[in-house]
Structure 1
Amino acid sequence: MDVTFLTTEELAARIKYDARTIRQQLKDSVLIEGTHYIRPFGRRKILYIWEVIQEEMLQTTARQQELAIPMANGGMCHG
């Protein structure tokens, strides 16, 4: 199994988020250590696992579409 490790800046470029947003808001709330990222050799450097993050983003999108209720005007109710 091939695994792609990304730095915070590389992940930010792929998902079109600011690196600061990833560090301050997503890390440890949405992105969990051991699942979405690792700290190689117990150091400060963080490497994100692209395949896991990509799969999580696609699953979240699919779940949101399943919960949507079609409305008469063509819109969707997500609640």
Structure 2
Amino acid sequence: MTQTYLTTAELSTRIKYNPRTIRNQLKDSVLLEGIHYIRPFGGRKILYVWEQIEKDMIKPLGVDQLMAGIQ
């Protein structure tokens, strides 16, 4: 399966979020390493997997996700 890898700037253009918001608020809370992004060759650079992010963006919220906002 071919995957599309995006930098933070490229992802921000697609999902209309500021790159700083992606880095500071979404990464490691909503976007998880190994699922939504990788660090190629164990380096510092981060590449986001577009297909996985797109799939999760359109998935309906579960009860536990809704309740997490209340607690």
The 5 Å alignment of 1:9-28 reads 9-28=9-28
Question: 1:36: which partner in 2?
Answer: 36
Describe the SS at the equivalent of 2:31.
coil
TM-score, structure 1 length as denominator?
A: 0.75
* Offset of residue 63 of structure 1: 3.5
CA distance in 2, matches of 1:29, 1:48: 14
Structure 2 stretches lacking a partner, 5+ long: 63-71
Percent of residue pairs bearing the same amino acid type: 65
* Offset of residue 36 of structure 1: 0.3
1:17-75 deviation digits (Å, cap 9, x = unpaired)? 0000000000000000000000000000000000000000010xx347xxxxxxxxxxx
From the CA coordinates, give the structure whose radius of gyration is larger.
Answer: 1
Instruction: Supply the RMSD in Å over aligned alpha carbons.
Output: 1.1
Return the structure number with greater relative CO, CA threshold 8 A, min gap 6.
2
Structure 1 stretches lacking a partner, 5+ long: 65-79
* Offset of residue 12 of structure 1: 0.2
Structure number having the greater strand percentage? 1
The 5 Å alignment of 1:1-79 reads 1-59=1-59, 62-63=60-61
* Offset of residue 2 of structure 1: 1.2
